[in-house]
Amino acid sequence: MAQINVPVVRNILQANERLAAENRRKFDDAGIFVINLMSSPGAGKTSLLEKTIEALSGRIGIAVIEGDIQSSYDAERIQKKGVQAVQINTDGGCHLDGNMIQIALDALDLANVDLLIIENVGNLVCPAEFNLGEHEKIMILSVTEGDDKPLKYPLMFQICSVLLVNKIDLLPYVDCDMAKVRERIGQLNAKGRILEVSCKTGEGFAPWLSWIEEKVAGHKKLRAGKH
Ligand SMILES: Nc1nc2c(ncn2[C@@H]2O[C@H](COP(=O)(O)OP(=O)(O)O)[C@@H](O)[C@H]2O)c(=O)[nH]1
Ligand SMILES: [Mg+2]
């Protein structure tokens, strides 16, 4: 039976922490608010980005880093909304890491960027373990995935500050009990904010947009204080 070499795993995570800290310094120096957006495949990450960009891009400078195993399909979807987007292909890798973000940053012009959103690879497990230097981790659970996911993938639900429950327009058609979703997330993460949204209809977007605008304004103030 293959043995797992624990020190090697620890070293990989420690090396990643160093790179993530470098990224964070870069973001803080530039006064950019950075989100690491995670979910399982298809929960609605790119749809959330599209709707968020439509609502905010007139007022806030936005850039996106897209992470996928293959293709530049999502980066193209974002570019169509008129903002900078860089695609990372992990070539089979199930998560983004600090080094990939450093490389992607070289391809972005951060001069007028206030908000950088990193769409992680669709996966509820590995992205939770790798910091990228972001300020906030956000996750999306879609109602089509069912109300049991907090029981099965607890770490992802524990580490996120905002948990968006998406596709609420489909609630009448699927067996997802929102009371159970809220209770199970609450047991794992008492501080996490749960927001119910539909990227299709735009329902529930107002609190999400206000949260982003407040965070961006806070980071801009920090930048103004430094320069
Ligand atoms: N009905 C419904 N469909 C949605 C919603 N959000 C996303 N979708 C659809 O779900 C699919 C996956 O969305 P996408 O944003 O690509 O997910 P990602 O893989 O997490 O980036 C697409 O067909 C979207 O149109 C929603 O709120 N309601
Ligand atoms: Mg996507």
- Sequential DSSP letters for 12-60: HHHHHHHHHHHHHHHHHHHT-EEEEEEESTTSSHHHHHHHHHHHHTTTS
Q: What percent of the chain has pLDDT over 90?
A: 90
* pLDDT tier for residue 3 given thresholds of 50, 70 and 90: low
* pLDDT of 108 higher than 80: yes
Which of 3-7, 58-62, 169-173, 174-178 comes out lowest in average pLDDT?
3-7
**Is the confidence at residue 12, as pLDDT, over 90?**
no
Q: Residue 28's pLDDT band (boundaries 50, 70, 90)?
A: very high
| Predicted confidence (pLDDT) per residue in 140-170, tens digit | 999 999 999 999 999 999 999 999 999 999 9
Confidence band, pLDDT 50/70/90 cuts, at residue 2: low
Quote the ligand 2 centre to 112 CA distance (angstroms).
Answer: 24
> Does the pLDDT at position 120 exceed 90?
yes
**Among the listed residues 40, 56, 200, the one whose alpha carbon sits nearest the alpha carbon of residue 114:** 56
pLDDT of residue 10: 78
Question: For residue 11, what pLDDT is reported?
Answer: 83
**pLDDT score at 33:** 97
> Quick one: angle between helices 205-226 and 45-56, nearest 10?
70
* Helix, coil or strand: residue 98: helix
Residue 134: CB partners within 8 Å, gap ≥ 6? Answer: 24, 27, 34, 35, 36, 118
Domains of the chain: 30-217 (3.40.50.300)
CB of 198 closer than 6 angstroms to any ligand 1 atom: yes
Residue 34 main-chain phi, psi, to 5 deg: -125, 130
Task: Flag the least confident range among 1-5, 27-31, 38-42, 110-114.
Answer: 1-5
Compute the average pLDDT of residues 69-84: 96
State how far the Cα of 115 lies from the Cα of 44, in Å rounded to an integer: 19
- What percent of the chain stands above pLDDT 70? 96
Tens digits of residue pLDDT in 179-215: 999 999 999 999 999 999 999 999 999 999 999 999 9
Strand (E) or helix (H) holding 158: helix 154-159
Q: Name the band, by pLDDT with cuts 50, 70 and 90, for residue 52.
A: very high
Surrounding ion ligand 2 within 5 Å at CB are: 45-46, 74
Q: Which atom of ligand 1 is nearest to the CA of 43?
A: 20
CA of 142 to the centre of ligand 2 (A): 13
Residue 162 Cα to ligand 2 midpoint, Å, equals 18
Pocket-testing residue among 45, 46, 47, ligand 1, by greatest number of atoms within 8 A of Cβ: 47
Ligand 1 atom 14 nearest Cα:
44
Our answer on whether the CB atom of 52 is closer than 6 Å to any ligand 1 atom is no
The Cα–Cα gap between 10 and 6 comes to 6
Supply the residue whose CA is at minimum distance from atom 11 of ligand 1.
42
* Residue 24: other Cβ atoms inside 10 A: 17
